[in-house]
Amino acid sequence: MAGKVYLVGAGPGDPDLLTIKAWKIIKKSDIILYDRLVDSSIIRKMPKKIKKISVGKKIGEDSDVQQERINELIEKYYNKGKIVVRLKGGDPFLFGRGGEEAEFMKMKKIDFDVIPGITSAIGVPTHAKLPLTHRNYSSSIHIIPGHLKKGHELNWEMISKLEGTLVILMGASKLEEIMNNLMKNGKSEETPVCIIQNGTTKKEKILKGNIKNISEIAKEVKAPVVIVVGKVVKLLD
């Protein structure tokens, strides 16, 4: 019997923001390989017959080693004829290495489909009543990782010149560095910034400031956070 793999987006946090299609796929699966950011209530609601394996990267763990383990599990259960769901926070193809997993499955000739999810980059600000575009403030959105693969650097000179709204993911531990890079490359220190922690959940917390002072205001902030930089942040006032 042939197996099947689904790369599934679990949404930005609130379990009710999981799509209907994603839930249908989950309920018919045999194996769930889920990330750390997938809300625990989603896991608890799954039928008991489904095997659930946490594959979220732990603090200090080598991400490449962990990714190899995930790839091995996908291939192992697929070859056993199982329906496998690789459940990822947000959308499976926005950061989070979903594209690499798709490449691996193509190389191994694994039959897979992708189920989109609501990305935290848009879902979290929207839930906080913050529009990322507004004809009086911003006509574009630029989604940026807080850090890149070791040995790669973001082009802060180019990023700082962008006129639209900047949405920065995975930036909690690099907040001060990010703001300093924006200022050093010409972004006004008075540019409004907000940080949304645990967005869309009951633990949601919103902090506001500007490029100059947000690092001090949010010095206790911990992941997961979405950082929004730009004039649209004024709409939270």
- Tell me whether residue 57 is one of the annotated catalytic residues: yes
Amino acid at 66: Q
Same domain, 213 and 158: yes
Same domain, 100 and 184: no
Of 17, 16, 26, nearest in space to 8 by CA: 26
Same domain, 125 and 220: yes
* DSSP secondary structure letters along 195-237: EEESTTSTT-EEEEEETTTHHHHTTT--SSEEEEESGGGGGG-
Last residue of a domain, one of 93, 118, 143: 118
Same domain, 104 and 127: no
Last residue of a domain, one of 118, 136, 170: 118
The single residue of 4, 14, 88, 170 carrying the catalytic annotation is 170
HSE (side-chain half, CA atoms, 13 Å) at 42: 32
The single residue of 30, 51, 52, 57 carrying the catalytic annotation is 57
The pLDDT of residue 59 is 55
Q: Mean pLDDT, consecutive 10-residue segments, the chain of 237 residues?
A: 94 95 97 93 94 81 84 97 97 94 98 98 98 97 90 92 96 96 98 97 96 97 96 94
Separation CA 179–CA 213 (nearest Å): 9
Same domain, 65 and 148: no
Separation CA 215–CA 54 (nearest Å): 32
Query: How many other CB atoms are found less than 10 A from the CB of residue 79?
Result: 12
Q: What angle do CA 39, 229, 40 make, to 5 degrees?
A: 5
Same domain, 105 and 88: yes
The pLDDT of residue 67 is 92
Same domain, 100 and 146: no
13: left (phi over 0), alpha (psi -120 to 50) or beta: left
The pLDDT of residue 150 is 78
CATH number for 79: 3.40.1010.10
Q: For the chain, how many structural domains are there in total?
A: 2
* Domain extent at residue 18: 4-118
Tokens, residue 218 = 């949010």
- Tell me whether residue 39 is one of the annotated catalytic residues: no
The single residue of 35, 82, 88, 105 carrying the catalytic annotation is 35
Tokens, residue 156 = 């802060």
C-beta of residue 161 within 8 angstroms of C-beta of residue 184: no
Last residue of a domain, one of 69, 85, 118: 118
- Tell me whether residue 105 is one of the annotated catalytic residues: no
The pLDDT of residue 58 is 64
Pairing of strands 141-145, 51-54: unpaired
In the chain, what's the furthest Cα-to-Cα distance? 61
Same domain, 111 and 134: no
